[in-house]
């Protein structure tokens, strides 16, 4: 018996009389529910460790409540009265009273730091003013405060505080794009000596593209060799390719420092051979050359593995058939073999480029001042300057740039044509 029966009306049913269509629908729902339950832990992990941090980063890039929370009277005044000139007595009264409260709560330094993001010297101004506010015990607040600290009679300072009074701001994005605000509050380009982020973004993209190109030039022959060697030799070479994953990143980077520095192994070898003189040693460390060399070595396995996985799927008979039909080795490779490996090239280049764009440990150790990438500035603002808003804005712009390049790649090449194996 097959467990089914014919109902009087001609419908197929299971042994317990349930219509077969209904039983199949129930089984399908149970299978889908089991699949969801199995995948749910992974979805929660991705949500907690990936989606939520990115969302927080994007929100921090436009949200800065420090000034508004700790200077409520002045913030209310500035939001109700746009600043076109140094304000009058009411604003200074709110400033003095809020600063007194902030000093009691020990938050006046945080307020000054927030204003200092856009106007240098504000932190020390807020600290020194808060220490001497006990001398101001009543009106006229403006006259007494200007006598105490004439720096408060500055229109630019007041326009900065007006922007800081809003919890949501685009000031961090303006700074990340090398823009700023003048004394009247108009958006202008930052002074030339302070335009560093545009240069860093450009350097990051160019060096990442160069590293991806070098990895392709070095990795393609290795992947091709892996695909054509006998199995025992191919396995040995694969172990060598995977060896960097089994060693510490810091150990590998330190090894490159030992090899590439002016008194390092490579320069000593070139001096011994006679390629360069002892006084003409090549500077390969603490510059862009050091960053490119070290990161190319680190990223090489990420190029070889996608290439090799795709090459393994290319039938060898195609090339042999082309050779038997009269095509030379170069023609057979270029017209038959190479086009079938393009999906692996796309996957490897995209993978190496995206990883390189966000890399910061190796450039920090071997890059010097000219080999730093935008990720190093993000780490600096997160860990040292504590300007999390600017760090978040830089990270959001970097994320947007990578997504834009990914979209262009999808439009021009097609993500469906990319293979990782």
Per-residue pLDDT tens digits for 26-46: 888 888 888 888 889 988 998
Contact partners, residue 406, CB within 8 Å, separation at least 6: 350, 354, 415
Domain coordinates in residue numbering, the chain: 4-60, 66-194, 197-417
Class at the top of the CATH hierarchy for domain 197-417:
mainly alpha
Reply yes or no on whether the pLDDT at 252 is more than 70.
yes
From the number of C-beta atoms within 10 Å of its C-beta (0-12, 13-18, 19+), residue 95 rates as buried
List Cβ neighbours of 203 (8 Å cut-off, separation of 6 or more). Answer: 288, 372, 373, 374
Using pLDDT thresholds of 50, 70 and 90, give the confidence band for residue 95.
Answer: very high
Does residue 189 contact residue 195 with C-beta atoms inside 8 Å? yes
pLDDT band, residue 361 (cuts 50/70/90): confident
Say whether 239 sits in a helix, a strand or coil: helix
Residue 414 CA to residue 339 CA, distance in Å, equals: 15
Tokens of 58: 């994007």
- Cα separation of the two ends of the chain: 45
Contact by Cβ (8 Å): 295, 211: yes
How confident is the model at residue 259, as a pLDDT? 87
Question: E strand or H helix at 113, and its extent?
Answer: helix 108-116
d(CA 23, CA 130): 76
Lowest mean pLDDT among 18-27, 102-111, 221-230, 268-277: 18-27
d(CA 203, CA 200): 5
Select the more confidently predicted residue: 2 or 230: 230
Output the pTM of the full model: 0.82
Angstrom distance (rounded) from CA 79 to CA 238? 64
Who contacts 75 (Cβ-Cβ below 8 Å, separation ≥6)? 67, 68, 165
pLDDT one-digit tens code per residue, 380-392: 998 888 899 999 9
pLDDT at 2 over 60: no
How many C-beta atoms surround the C-beta of residue 122 within 10 A?
A: 22
Quick check: 73 and 161 in contact, CB under 8 A?
no
Question: Using one digit for the tens of pLDDT, what is the confidence trace for 130-179?
Answer: 988 888 888 888 999 999 899 999 999 999 999 999 999 999 999 999 99
250, 362 in Cβ contact below 8 A?
no
Q: Specify the residue for token string 């960097």.
A: 244
């Amino acid at each position: 018996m097959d467990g089914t029966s014919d109902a009087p009306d001609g419908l197929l049913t299971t042994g317990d009389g349930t219509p077969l269509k209904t039983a199949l629908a129930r089984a399908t729902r149970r299978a889908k529910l089991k699949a969801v339950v199995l995948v749910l832990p992974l979805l929660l992990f991705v949500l907690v460790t990936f989606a939520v941090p990115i969302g927080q980063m994007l929100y921090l890039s436009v949200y800065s409540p420090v000034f508004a929370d700790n200077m409520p009277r002045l913030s209310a005044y500035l939001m109700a009265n746009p600043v076109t000139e140094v304000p009058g007595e009411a604003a200074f009264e709110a400033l003095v009273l809020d600063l007194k409260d902030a000093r009691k709560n020990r938050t006046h330094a945080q307020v000054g730091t927030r204003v200092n993001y856009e106007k240098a010297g504000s932190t020390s101004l807020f600290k020194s003013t808060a220490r001497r506010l006990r001398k101001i015990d009543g009106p006229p607040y403006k006259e007494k405060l200007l006598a105490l600290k004439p720096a408060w009679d500055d229109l630019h300072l007041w326009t900065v505080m007006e922007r800081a009074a809003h919890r949501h701001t685009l000031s961090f994005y303006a700074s990340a794009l090398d823009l700023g605000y003048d004394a009247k509050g108009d958006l202008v380009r930052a002074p030339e000596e302070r335009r560093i982020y545009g240069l860093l973004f450009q350097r990051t993209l160019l060096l990442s593209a160069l590293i991806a190109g070098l990895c392709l030039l070095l990795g393609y022959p290795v992947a091709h060799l892996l695909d054509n060697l006998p199995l025992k030799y191919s396995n040995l070479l694969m172990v060598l390719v995977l060896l960097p994953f089994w060693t510490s990143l810091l150990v590998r980077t330190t090894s490159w420092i030992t090899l590439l520095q002016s008194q390092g192994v490579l320069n000593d070898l070139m001096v011994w051979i006679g390629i360069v003189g002892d006084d003409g040693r090549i500077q390969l460390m603490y510059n862009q050359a050091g960053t490119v060399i070290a990161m190319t070595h680190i990223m090489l396995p990420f190029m070889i593995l996608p290439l090799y996985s795709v090459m393994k799927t290319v039938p060898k008979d195609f090339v042999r058939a082309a050779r038997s039909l009269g095509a030379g080795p170069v023609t057979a490779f270029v017209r038959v073999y190479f086009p079938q490996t393009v999906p692996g090239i796309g996957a490897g280049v995209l993978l190496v480029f995206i990883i390189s764009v966000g890399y910061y440990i190796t450039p920090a150790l071997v890059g010097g001042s000219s080999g730093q990438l935008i990720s190093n500035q993000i780490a600096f603002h997160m860990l040292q300057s504590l300007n999390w808003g600017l760090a978040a804005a830089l990270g959001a712009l970097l994320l947007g740039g990578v997504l834009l390049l990914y979209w262009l790649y999808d439009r021009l090449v097609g993500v469906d044509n990319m293979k990782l194996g």
